[in-house]
Chains A and B, each alone.
Chain A
Amino acid sequence: MSAADFKDGLIAEIPNLRAFAASLSGSMQLADDLVQDTLLKAWGNAEKFQPGTSLRAWLFTILRNTYYSLYRKRGREVQDSEGTYADRLATHGNQESHLDLADFRKALAKLPEEQREVLIMVGATGLSYEETAEICGVAIGTIKSRVNRARAKLAELLSIGGVDDLGPDHRITAAVQRAGPETVGS
């Protein structure tokens, strides 16, 4: 892969890297620093990328490792002083979906990191369970159970408002109790 092709590949992945970094760190400012570090590391280690494999998965691995080794603590500090990006992010679209999304983001921010990151990777980025497992360095079964716990926790957090549209409260409550918020098996 030529340097120009590699560079084009990196540019194409920047929006996804920013979205994942913001979801992980809870801060857009921190997300951009994290993406910059990720791009620098990727450029410096370009020869380690195997053409034909997923560039997104490779970059997410770098970004995630960088986050956990350098940014996690800063993320909490920034959130404490400035609030999460969810409070400030400019939103487009109609008012109703804006409100729903704001509620959802607050709930998402309350998930344990290990659940939030896999839910985002599997549910929004187009990465497979296999790729997600590889990025996180755990088994696919662990990813599946984290995703299920994350969904159950979100349903629990969001059941305060809006769940009437979805179904009877008792079904959700029962489902959440079955899944158990603290049944951490791994």
Chain B
Amino acid sequence: MNLMNADPPEAARAEPDDEMALDPRVQESIGRSLKAHYDELVNAPVPDRFLVLLAQLEDTERRLKAEGGADERG
């Protein structure tokens, strides 16, 4: 996060003009809609395929580790 301390001059100059841009009520309304949009997507049911995929990846890793361990011992 420390990498972000130095803003390039062009970005710093662009800010003040943009800062005053909108009526706070409009900003608030946009903020609410944005959350409503995103939250509906977040709350959508998650397809099983992802849990299946991660379980497969975990199994594969366990198996490889077990085989690796056997090789070392043998």
**Nearest chain A CB to B46 CB, angstrom units:** 5
B residues sitting closer than 8 Å to A (CB atoms) are 1, 3-4, 6-8, 10-15, 17-23, 25-27, 29-31, 33-44, 46-47, 49-51, 53-54, 57-58, 61-62
What is the chain A residue whose CB lies nearest that of B45? A15
Beyond the given A15-B44, A134-B4, could you list 4 further A-B residue pairs with CB under 8 A, ordered by the A residue number? A3-B58, A3-B61, A130-B1, A158-B30
* Closest partner residue, chain A, to B22 (CB atom): A175
Question: Number of A residues whose C-beta is below 8 Å from B?
Answer: 63
Contact A152 B22 (CB under 8 A): yes
Q: List 30 A-B contacts (CB under 8 A).
A: A3-B58, A7-B57, A7-B58, A18-B41, A23-B37, A32-B49, A43-B54, A101-B33, A120-B38, A123-B38, A124-B37, A138-B11, A139-B6, A142-B8, A142-B14, A144-B11, A148-B21, A151-B22, A151-B26, A151-B30, A152-B21, A152-B22, A155-B30, A166-B23, A167-B25, A175-B23, A179-B18, A185-B10, A185-B14, A186-B11
List A contacts of B38 (CB < 8 A). 19, 23, 120, 123-125
A154 contacts B by Cβ under 8 Å: yes
Least CB distance, B40 to chain A, in whole angstroms: 7
CB-CB nearest in chain B for A163: B26
Chain A nearest CB: distance from B3 CB in Å?
7
B18 partner residues in chain A, CB cutoff 8 A: 144-145, 148-149, 152, 179
Q: Are B34 and A7 in contact (CB under 8 A)?
A: no
Which residues of chain B come closer than 8 Å to A163, judged between CB atoms?
26
Contact B26 A185 (CB under 8 A): no
Digitize A160-186: 1 where CB-to-B-CB distance is under 8 Å, 0 elsewhere: 000101110001100110110001011
State how many angstroms separate the Cβ of B58 from the closest Cβ of chain A. 6
Judged by a CB distance under 8 angstroms, whether A104 is at the interface is yes
User: When the two chains form the complex, which single residue of B6, B13, B21, B49 contacts A179, counting CB atoms closer than 8 Å?
Assistant: B21
